[in-house]
Amino acid sequence: MSDTTIRMYGADWCGDCRRTKHQLDGLGVAYEYIDVAADEAAAQEAQRIAGRQNIPVVVYPDGSHHVEPSNPELQAKLEELALV
């Protein structure tokens, strides 16, 4: 993972995950998608990061993260990191 890549833990059945993926894709932001439904270890890692079971969990290059970010929250963080 490069120092500008975002990790997104999510699942295809999750509406908030689909919304977040759509926003990232629409902005042309590079990210690594990690399917927690297909990978139990990834699900546990997402829960460890978030402190709860909610998804999506978006981990930013600066080490911070959001759990279930709104579109404005995600946009603001991407702008702060100069990724958009």
Classify the C-alpha dihedral 49-18-13-11 as positive or negative: negative
More confident residue, 1 or 60: 60
Q: What is the pLDDT of residue 5?
A: 86
Q: What is the number of domains present in the chain?
A: 1
**Is 49 domain-assigned?**
yes
**Is 1 domain-assigned?**
no
Residue 1 has pLDDT above 50, yes or no: no
Q: Which burial class, exposed, middle or buried, applies to 22 when counting CB atoms under 10 A from its CB (0-12, 13-18, 19+)?
A: exposed
Helix (H) or strand (E) holding 33: strand 31-35
Residue 58 belongs to a domain with what CATH number?
3.40.30.10
Q: In this structure, how many other beta carbons lie within 10 angstroms of the beta carbon of residue 57?
A: 28
Q: Domain range for residue 13?
A: 6-80
Residue 63 has pLDDT above 70, yes or no: yes
pLDDT tens, residue by residue, 4-48: 689 999 999 999 999 999 999 999 999 999 999 999 999 999 999
Q: In this structure, how many other beta carbons lie within 10 angstroms of the beta carbon of residue 42?
A: 18
Per-residue confidence band for 2, with pLDDT thresholds at 50, 70 and 90: low
Backbone torsions φ then ψ of 24, nearest 5 degrees? -60, -45
